[in-house]
């Protein structure tokens, strides 16, 4: 029996638009489980990013609940929510959003220094380990602009996990990468998941979805299907791709 790490109950999100309201999430119910590599798929504009931001408290839902450790983060005070995002959640995006005038090492360590639960020396040590794991230790002093997209995304992943988040959120993390860099980034995410990191990733790339232990398909802000898979292995990648492809076709993807 898996434990839910985060649960949406009747989640709603509307935006003010052209003097009216557009309703993107209209009562989403969803549990995300500890230890899973959960992938969200769905057509462009189906509300994937909106859902990810509402679940992670990056953007506030307009109705319903997001339960994290029994607490509804939709109603949480901003200061407490910001602290929670910093300590318990990690984020990666299609655009890496690295700080341009900081080195890779600094980009990774700064969120660690801001989190007072560990010493600066511990943060530095963890950053070194992560840079080794991500294959960017040799370029630690370079600025983001001096690095390839793949190197920047690997740095962004290290930054996202510096505080050992309970849940790593990713919105199209391979969307701006070429095939080789995509594989490298997916391998790192797979490795993190194998060592226990819970991941919730939005993607429109079936190859990226291949790494999932669970795929959720959404349409108009609602879950219309889901697929549970055994842990990913390279050996089974082809048959897995075929299985996911058939399932996606059934979802009219």
Ligand X SMILES: Nc1ncnc2c1ncn2[C@@H]1O[C@H](COP(=O)(O)OP(=O)(O)O)[C@@H](O)[C@H]1O
Residue 112, binding choice from ligand X, Mg ion, none, Cβ under 5 to 8 Å by partner class: none
Phi then psi for residue 19, to 5 deg, are 75, -5
Q: Which stretch binds ligand X (CB under 6 A): 45-53, 156-164, 180-188, 222-230?
A: 45-53
Q: Contact between 48 and ligand X (CB under 6 A)?
A: yes
Q: Contact between 231 and ligand X (CB under 6 A)?
A: no
**Where do we find the tokens 């048959």?**
239
| Helix, strand or coil, per DSSP, at residue 168 | strand
Residue 205 burial class via C-beta count within 10 angstroms: exposed 0-12, middle 13-18, buried 19 and up:
middle
| Least Å from the CB of residue 174 to ligand X | 15
Q: Contact between 173 and ligand X (CB under 6 A)?
A: no
Angle between helical axes of 149-161 and 104-114 (0-180°, round to 10): 20
Site string for ligand X, 72-91 (x = CB under 6 A): --------------------
Q: Which stretch binds ligand X (CB under 6 A): 15-23, 63-71, 90-98, 152-160?
A: 15-23
Nearer to ligand X, 22 or 114 (CB): 22
Strand order in the sheet with 198-202: 89-93, 167-171, 198-202, 37-41, 214-219, 222-228
Residue ranges that bind Mg ion, judged by CB under 5 A: 49
**Residue 176 has which token pair?**
């701006």
Q: Which residues contribute to the site for ligand X (CB under 6 A)? A: 15, 17, 22, 24, 42, 44-50
């Amino acid at each position: 029996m898996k434990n839910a790490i985060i649960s949406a109950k009747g989640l709603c999100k509307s935006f003010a638009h052209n003097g009216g309201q557009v309703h993107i999430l209209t009562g989403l119910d969803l549990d995300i489980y500890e230890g899973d590599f959960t992938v969200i798929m769905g057509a462009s504009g189906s509300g994937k990013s909106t859902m990810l931001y509402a679940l992670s408290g990056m953007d506030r839902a307009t109705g319903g609940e997001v339960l994290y450790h029994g607490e509804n983060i939709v109603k949480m005070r901003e200061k407490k929510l910001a602290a929670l995002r910093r300590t318990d959640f990690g984020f990666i995006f299609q655009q890496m959003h690295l700080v341009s005038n900081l080195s890779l090492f600094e980009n990774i360590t700064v969120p660690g220094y801001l989190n007072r639960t560990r010493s600066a020396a511990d943060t530095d040590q963890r950053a070194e380990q992560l840079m080794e794991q991500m294959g960017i230790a040799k370029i630690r002093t370079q600025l983001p602009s001096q690095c390839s997209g793949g190197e920047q995304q690997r740095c962004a992943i290290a930054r996202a996990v510096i505080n050992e988040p309970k849940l790593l959120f990713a919105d199209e993390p391979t969307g701006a990468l070429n095939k080789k860099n995509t594989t490298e980034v997916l391998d790192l995410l797979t490795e993190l998941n194998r060592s226990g990191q819970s991941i919730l990733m939005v993607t429109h790339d079936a190859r990226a979805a291949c790494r999932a232990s669970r795929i959720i398909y959404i349409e108009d802000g609602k879950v219309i299907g889901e697929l549970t898979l055994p842990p990913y292995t390279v050996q089974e990648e082809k048959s897995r791709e075929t299985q996911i492809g058939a399932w996606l076709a059934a979802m009219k993807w």
